[in-house]
């Protein structure tokens, strides 16, 4: 009987109560979701309207429209809160709802009313109480959870999602509208900027490099005599083609000078040594200029006086540098271009011609006047981007781009070549002579400083500054 | 269902009720719903006012019922000259064997289990009032002495809606004492055909009593007790209360304006326009008890909304006092009650 623990009736009541509590929790969750989604739909649509109004209405109209809309949204907020509270079911209400849905004719709600009134543990309120319990137990399968509350998610989530999507579309319309094209970050502007970026970057780089001293004009002289080099710089030298063609005849006269004479002129001017002459693979190529700034792989100790070493520079760059400026002796023997001819004018005319060329280059700043050494590519590309050969900076200036991209991107300014040579062979220094201060164990203070600077690992972001400082020191 | 005492009780009630119905149906052709209403009121412990045109079987129903129930039965034909003592009984001077004379109370026809008050509206109000105490209190007071009526006491009064001349309409107080008011309609075509064919032969209906005469009152009272043990949920009680309040017009006198619960159910426009006085609390009691009987008949130990709706018309239609406008527009109380029930459906959720 009722109130006696362990009886079949009590177990049946426990089963009924347990299921009722689960269904009630599901009802309440559903109601909560439904009110949340309904309220969210209203708020989202209201927000979308506010956005539309903000972009379409005048400030006065927007203010006049926004306040009633906000008041309406606040009213809806309170309304749905009230509905949420009113829709929250207790056990009796959940039982009534189940009765209504399953046609139990208030059997369950009557039973739950008796339970909540404290029927358990008290004398039976009626002779018919066991009958009611048994009646409800028999009808338990008719109000399974899946039958009574089959849906976990209310239908109102669909309007909510639609409203959310609508609001997102409304919010994105200003970005896509034609009136926003003047915006700096519109898609069209970004595409334009991206398309012009390489050209502008090249111009900016040229401008920065043109600030460097003009002295390395003549180290590129060897490339000026290199016909194959001219072929590689054909494209980039088109801007200077007119200027170069005017001096073509003079350049040819320089090139026609004996090699010994050309060498003597270079040594007299800059003390440039043809360091690669002794290398077998570079035989037959013109001696490379004594680059003030030359990019070499940092793991190679070369004899260049000044070199910016790209650590990721692939091997063989020095050989390419050796081929750089070889007149008409590129490995593939590619025909010379007009760019190379133009440059040969300045190199081949002696000091006066070089000074004049330097002056002309200064006057022609704004166009490409590379003051930094260019690293030619392979033999087939030898001379490409030679000094002053064209308007574009040699993209290989910093070595292999792919390797640069994947490497540590640090650079080293090296003055190691001359001191090593000085330590190894004093005669060689004597033979080569030149304007470079003699390297040795007793380096001057300035040389030691320079040496330290150039051997230092320079991060890429400081590369330009170091170059400039280094060049300024050199020019001084 | 297991064979518990509760289940047995419910099953027995259903069997008895249906047995009575079937036995009465042997004599009365048609009117199944009316007979059921009468039986509901009988097991609920109420009295029934039957209204119908002459010749529709009012008296036959009551006589058949008494015969089937095997209870004592009396009939009073109410006339203008009927006196209250003719109903309740009177003290008479009787000669004893010793030659002494003394007043002895002679029981009137009211002392029976089932009383048929035929054409009750034809007697004077004084005589009608004599029936009030018996119906409400199950007792009769004569010459200062109160006499208890033996339960079960069941009054079936009939009203003849025609020939209103020389009649005395029952006062509202007396009407309110009737549990149900049942309207007997004309029989349908097929029912009439059966009536004509079966009642004009030599074969009379053989009604078998459901109970033994000795045990009938006790059994009936036990069944009445079972009815009162049917469980009712609080929201059902709320529904019944709302229904009763909904029949009271807003402008009715004697209405407490301090009761905020009365506004839970908005008043139907017809109630405010056509009802002078709404149902009394007795109407609510009738609704509850009648619904309990219906629940038991349906094999349930609890009352449902449908049970209440089932009995709302017979329980309330004689308790609404319509105003002159309703009479002028020939508004039926039943239509007003149905509108009230319709407007109260929102309380079911």
Confidence band, pLDDT 50/70/90 cuts, at residue B22? very high
On whether ipTM exceeds 0.85, the answer is: yes
B chain contacts of residue A114, beta-carbon cutoff 8 Å: 231
> Are B41 and B136 in a shared domain?
yes
Cβ contact (<8 Å) for B1 and A132?
Answer: no
> Are B150 and B196 in a shared domain?
yes
Between A168 and A182, where is the model more confident?
Answer: A168
Confidence band, pLDDT 50/70/90 cuts, at residue B258? low
Question: CA dist B160 to B25, B119, B157, B261, B334, Å?
Answer: 23, 6, 10, 39, 18
> Are B218 and B245 in a shared domain?
no
* Total number of domains in chain B: 2
Q: d(Cα A160, Cα A164) in Å, to the nearest integer?
A: 6
Confidence band, pLDDT 50/70/90 cuts, at residue B298? very high
Token representation of residue B118: 């035929």
The residue whose two tokens read 């059994």 is B219
Average pLDDT of the residues of chain A:
64
> Are B53 and B187 in a shared domain?
yes
Decide if B5 touches A, using CB distance below 8 A: yes
Residue-level pLDDT at B109: 92
Residue-level pLDDT at B308: 95
> Are B49 and B172 in a shared domain?
yes
Q: Where are the alpha helices (DSSP H) in A425-462?
A: 426-432, 445-455
Q: At what angle do helices A8-56 and A129-138 cross, to 10 degrees?
A: 60
Question: CA dist A329 to A274, A342, B120, Å?
Answer: 16, 17, 143
Task: Kindly tell me if the per-residue pLDDT of B58 is higher than 80.
Answer: yes
Cβ contact (<8 Å) for A126 and B229?
Answer: yes
- Beta strands B154-159 and B48-52, pairing class: parallel
B chain contacts of residue A132, beta-carbon cutoff 8 Å: 231, 301-302
Q: d(Cα A7, Cα A298) in Å, to the nearest integer?
A: 92
> Are B62 and B175 in a shared domain?
yes
Task: Kindly tell me if the per-residue pLDDT of A435 is higher than 80.
Answer: no
Cβ contact (<8 Å) for A125 and B1?
Answer: no
Q: d(Cα B273, Cα A335) in Å, to the nearest integer?
A: 116
Task: Kindly tell me if the per-residue pLDDT of B267 is higher than 90.
Answer: no
SS3 A222: helix
Between B293 and A89, where is the model more confident?
Answer: B293
pLDDT in tens, A189-222: 777 777 887 888 888 888 777 766 655 444 444 4
Cβ contact (<8 Å) for A126 and B231?
Answer: yes
A chain contacts of residue B1, beta-carbon cutoff 8 Å: 134-135, 138
Q: What CATH number did the domain enclosing B94 receive?
A: 3.40.50.300
Residue-level pLDDT at B220: 93
Residue-level pLDDT at A471: 66
Residue-level pLDDT at A358: 58
Confidence band, pLDDT 50/70/90 cuts, at residue B228? very high
pLDDT in tens, A84-143: 888 888 888 899 999 988 888 899 999 998 888 876 666 666 888 888 988 898 888 888
Residue-level pLDDT at A123: 66
The DSSP secondary-structure symbol of B147 reads: E
Between A2 and A155, where is the model more confident?
Answer: A155
Residue-level pLDDT at A362: 56
Counting one residue from chain A and one from chain B, the pairs whose CB atoms sit within 8 A come to 77
> Are B32 and B127 in a shared domain?
yes
Task: Kindly tell me if the per-residue pLDDT of A375 is higher than 60.
Answer: no
The share of chain B scoring above pLDDT 90, in percent, equals 41
> Are B164 and B23 in a shared domain?
yes
Who among B230, B300, B303 is closest to A135 (CB)?
B300
> Are B223 and B272 in a shared domain?
no
Backbone angles phi, psi at B262, to 5 degrees: -65, -25
> Which of B5, B224, B231 best probes binding to A when mutated, by most A CB atoms within 10 angstroms?
B231
> Are B25 and B128 in a shared domain?
yes
Residue-level pLDDT at B10: 92
Cβ contact (<8 Å) for B348 and A130?
Answer: no
Confidence band, pLDDT 50/70/90 cuts, at residue B62? confident
CA angle in degrees (0–180, nearest 5) for B174-B175-B179:
110
Token representation of residue A301: 């100790």
- The mean-pLDDT minimum among A96-105, A368-377, B228-237 falls in A368-377
- The mean pLDDT of B301-306, rounded to a whole number, is 94
Residue-level pLDDT at A258: 60
Token representation of residue B96: 């004893």
Residue-level pLDDT at A372: 45
Who among A106, A128, A129 is closest to B305 (CB)?
A106
The residue whose two tokens read 């009648």 is B290
* Structural domain containing residue B13: 5-202+211-227
Task: Kindly tell me if the per-residue pLDDT of B284 is higher than 90.
Answer: yes
Between B144 and A306, where is the model more confident?
Answer: B144
- The mean pLDDT of A362-370, rounded to a whole number, is 49
Between B223 and B206, where is the model more confident?
Answer: B223
Q: Which own/partner contact pairs does A348-357 have at CB distance under 8 Å and 24+ positions apart?
A: A348/A221, A348/A224, A348/A225, A348/A250, A348/A251, A348/A253, A348/A254, A348/A255, A348/A257, A348/A262, A349/A250, A349/A251, A349/A254, A350/A265, A351/A269, A353/A250, A353/A254, A354/A217, A354/A218, A354/A221, A354/A269, A357/A217, A357/A388
- The mean pLDDT of A172-182, rounded to a whole number, is 63
A chain contacts of residue B229, beta-carbon cutoff 8 Å: 126-128
Q: Is A55 exposed, middle or buried (0-12, 13-18, 19+ CB in 10 A)?
A: middle
**Cβ neighbours for A140, distance < 8 A, ≥ 6 positions apart:** A15, A16, A19
- Beta strands B114-118 and B154-159, pairing class: parallel
Q: For chain A, how long is the longest CA-to-CA vector?
A: 134
> Are B247 and B220 in a shared domain?
no
Q: What CATH number did the domain enclosing B258 receive?
A: 1.10.8.80
Task: Kindly tell me if the per-residue pLDDT of A285 is higher than 80.
Answer: no
Task: Kindly tell me if the per-residue pLDDT of B295 is higher than 90.
Answer: yes
> Are B129 and B220 in a shared domain?
yes
DSSP letter string, A332-394: T-PPP-HHHHHHHHHHHTHHHHHHHHHHHHHHTBTB----SPP---SGGGTTTT-TTT-SSPP
Between A403 and B334, where is the model more confident?
Answer: B334
Task: Kindly tell me if the per-residue pLDDT of A27 is higher than 80.
Answer: yes
Does the model's pTM come out above 0.80?
A: no
Residue-level pLDDT at B168: 87
- The mean pLDDT of A389-412, rounded to a whole number, is 46
Q: Which of B167, B192, B227 is the last residue of a domain?
A: B227
Task: Kindly tell me if the per-residue pLDDT of A1 is higher than 50.
Answer: no
Cβ contact (<8 Å) for B2 and A132?
Answer: no
């Amino acid at each position: 009987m009722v109130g006696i623990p362990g009886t079949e009736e009590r177990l049946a009541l426990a089963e009924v109560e347990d299921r009722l509590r689960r269904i009630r929790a599901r009802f309440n969750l559903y109601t909560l979701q439904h009110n949340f989604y309904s309220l969210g739909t209203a708020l989202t649509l209201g927000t979308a309207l506010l956005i539309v109004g903000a972009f379409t209405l005048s400030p006065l109209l927007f203010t006049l429209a926004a306040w009633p809309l906000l008041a309406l949204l606040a009213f809806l907020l309170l309304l749905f809160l009230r509905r949420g509270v009113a829709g929250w079911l207790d056990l009796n209400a959940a039982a009534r709802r189940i009765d209504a849905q399953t046609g139990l004719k208030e059997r369950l709600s009557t039973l739950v009313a008796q339970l909540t009134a404290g029927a358990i543990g008290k004398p039976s309120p009626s002779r018919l109480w066991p009958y009611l319990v048994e009646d409800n137990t028999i009808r338990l399968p008719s109000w399974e959870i899946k039958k009574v509350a089959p849906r976990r998610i209310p239908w109102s989530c669909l309007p909510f999602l639609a409203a959310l999507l609508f609001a997102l579309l409304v919010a994105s319309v200003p970005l896509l509208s034609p009136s926003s094209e003047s915006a700096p970050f519109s898609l069209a502007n970004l595409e334009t900027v991206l398309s012009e970026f390489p050209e502008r970057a090249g111009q900016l780089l040229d401008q920065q490099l043109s600030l460097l001293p003009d002295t390395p004009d003549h180290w590129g002289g060897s490339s000026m005599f290199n016909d194959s080099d001219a072929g590689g710089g054909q494209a980039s030298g088109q801007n200077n083609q007119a200027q170069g063609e005017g001096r073509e005849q003079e350049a040819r006269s320089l090139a026609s000078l004996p090699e010994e004479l050309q060498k003597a002129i270079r040594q007299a001017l800059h003390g440039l040594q043809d360091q690669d002459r002794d290398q077998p693979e570079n035989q037959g190529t013109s001696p490379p200029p004594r680059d003030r700034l030359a990019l070499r792989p940092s793991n190679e100790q070369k004899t260049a006086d000044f070199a910016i070493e790209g650590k990721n520079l692939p091997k063989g760059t020095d050989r390419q540098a050796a081929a750089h400026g070889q007149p008409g002796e590129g490995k593939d023997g590619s025909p010379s271009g007009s760019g190379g001819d133009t440059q040969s004018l300045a190199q081949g005319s002696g000091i006066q011609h070089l000074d004049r060329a330097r002056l002309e280059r200064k006057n022609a700043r704004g166009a490409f006047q590379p003051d930094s050494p260019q690293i030619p590519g392979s033999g087939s590309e030898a001379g490409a981007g030679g000094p002053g050969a064209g308007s574009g900076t040699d993209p290989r200036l910093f070595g292999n781009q792919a390797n640069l991209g994947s490497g540590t991107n640090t650079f080293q300014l090296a003055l190691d070549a001359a001191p090593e040579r000085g330590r190894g062979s004093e005669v060689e220094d004597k033979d080569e002579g030149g304007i470079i201060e003699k390297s040795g164990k007793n380096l001057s203070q300035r040389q030691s400083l320079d040496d330290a600077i150039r051997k230092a690992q320079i991060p890429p972001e400081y590369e330009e500054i170091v170059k400039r400082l280094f060049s300024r020191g050199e020019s001084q | 269902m297991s064979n518990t005492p509760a289940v047995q009780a419910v099953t027995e009630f259903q069997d008895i009720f249906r047995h009575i119905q079937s036995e009465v149906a042997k004599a009365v052709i048609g009117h199944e719903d009316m007979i059921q209403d009468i039986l509901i009121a009988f097991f609920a412990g109420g009295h029934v006012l039957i209204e119908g045109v002459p010749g529709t079987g009012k008296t036959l129903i009551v006589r058949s019922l008494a015969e089937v129930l095997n209870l004592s039965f009396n009939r009073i034909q109410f006339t203008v000259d009927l006196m209250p003592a003719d109903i309740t009984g009177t003290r008479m001077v009787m000669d004893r064997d010793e030659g002494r004379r003394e007043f002895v109370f002679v029981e009137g026809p009211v002392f029976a289990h089932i009383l048929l008050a035929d054409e009750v509206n034809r007697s004077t109000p004084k005589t009608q009032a004599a029936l009030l105490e018996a119906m409400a209190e199950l007792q009769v007071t004569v010459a200062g002495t109160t006499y208890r009526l033996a339960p079960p006491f069941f009054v079936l009064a009939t009203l003849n809606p025609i020939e209103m001349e020389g009649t005395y309409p029952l006062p509202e107080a007396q009407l309110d004492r009737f549990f149900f008011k049942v309207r007997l309609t004309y029989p349908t075509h097929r029912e009439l055909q059966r009536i004509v064919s079966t009642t004009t032969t030599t074969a009379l209906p053989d009604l078998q009593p459901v109970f033994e005469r000795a045990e009938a009152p006790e059994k009936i009272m036990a069944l009445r007790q079972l009815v009162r043990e049917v469980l009712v949920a609080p929201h059902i009680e709320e529904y019944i209360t709302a229904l009763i309040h909904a029949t009271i017009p807003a402008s009715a006198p004697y209405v407490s304006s301090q009761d905020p619960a009365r506004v839970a159910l908005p008043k139907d426009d017809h109630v405010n326009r056509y009802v002078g006085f709404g149902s009394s609390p007795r109407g609510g009691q009738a609704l509850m008890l009648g619904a309990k009987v219906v629940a038991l008949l349906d094999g349930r130990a609890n009352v449902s909304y449908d049970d209440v709706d089932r009995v709302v018309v017979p329980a309330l239609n004689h308790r609404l006092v319509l105003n002159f406008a309703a009479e002028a527009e020939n508004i039926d109380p039943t239509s007003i009650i149905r509108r009230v029930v319709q407007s109260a459906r929102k309380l079911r959720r």
